[in-house]
Structure formats: structure tokens, C-alpha cells
Amino acid sequence: MSKIYVSTTVNGRPEDVLCEAHQTLLDLLRDEIGLTGTKEGCGTGDCGACTVLLDDRLVCSCLVLAPEADGKEITTVEGIADSQDGLHVVQQKLLEHAALQCGVCTPGFVVAAKALLDRDPNPDEKTIRYWLAGNLCRCTGYDKIIRAVQDAAQELTPTK
């Protein structure tokens, strides 16, 4: 089977990869580039564990074909923390609130929650719940995740 050349940017670094036509962006990230932080929970776009940013748009990477990433910029969970400044506030607050138990859904929540706060630095609870409704978590019941995102928002936009 002939391979397709994909030239993309992942977490700010250029990545040139040969992939097959049937491969997904998730396959490209995990199997070709070796970034296994993005998880596959369903392969059908229902669980959000594979959430990444594709040109600043939240997508389920299992629903994007790898060749579609050509010329695009991708941000994965591995690109959220800053090598100088350390964890992003969303990551820090998820830890402080014990908002992960098994942690397999966490990469998707990190990417999705950061994208929310980039767009709306002061979301109310309902907005957070609907924004994150595409990310399944089976362990936490969502309570601590929502509180962590609220706390992160508060830290990003200090009142007074």
C-alpha cells in the first residue's frame, strides 16, 4: 500500500510522517510520532479521550484522518505544560482538586478545558459542564473536574 506524506506541526515542532490512508490522526500521533498521551477510549468520537487541538479547533483525533493533518498545527496533552513555567493552571488545579482517579480521560479533559479557558476565561458551571460534555469520565462523577476548572478560571481572572 502506498504511503501518504504528511507534513504537520505538533506542539510547535515540525513533524514529517508517512502514513496510510486509513490511519487516523490519533494513529499518527500515537503510533508514528510516539505521543501516547492522547488516548483511544472508543474510536468513534464518543468519549473525548483522544481530544486534541487542530488549528485551535477541538477535535476527536480518532475521527480525523491522518492525511487531513497535513499543513495543520496540532496541540496534544504533551504540549500543554510549558517547559519553563511548568504545568498549565488547568493541570495544576486538576491535581490540587484530586480531579482524576484512573487518569486515562485526563489528557482529553486537559486539552478541552484549556481550550475553554482560552476562549472564555470566566465560564459559569453550566458552560463548563456543556463544554466538557464530550469528554467521558467514569471515575470522578465530574464534580471535582468542574470545580478544578472553576478554580483555574478564577486564578486566570482574579476578581477585584
Report the interface residues with another protein, using CB under 8 A.
20, 22, 30-31, 35-44, 46-47, 49, 76-78, 80-81, 87, 91, 94-98, 100-107, 110, 126, 128-130, 132-147
Least separation in angstroms between residue 34's CB and another protein is 8
Rounded-to-integer distance, Cα 149 and Cα 88, Å? 12
Instruction: Find out whether 76 and 11 touch, Cβ atoms under 8 Å.
Output: yes
Q: Pick the closer one to another protein by CB: 89 or 160.
A: 89
Q: Pick the closer one to another protein by CB: 8 or 23.
A: 23
Let me know how many helices (H) and strands (E) the chain has, helices first.
5, 5
Q: Pick the closer one to another protein by CB: 35 or 59.
A: 35
Least separation in angstroms between residue 157's CB and another protein is 21
Least separation in angstroms between residue 5's CB and another protein is 19
Rounded-to-integer distance, Cα 25 and Cα 31, Å? 10
Rounded-to-integer distance, Cα 82 and Cα 90, Å? 12
Q: Pick the closer one to another protein by CB: 8 or 38.
A: 38
Which ranges of 18-156 does DSSP label H, i.e. alpha helix?
Answer: 25-27, 89-96, 106-119, 125-131, 143-156
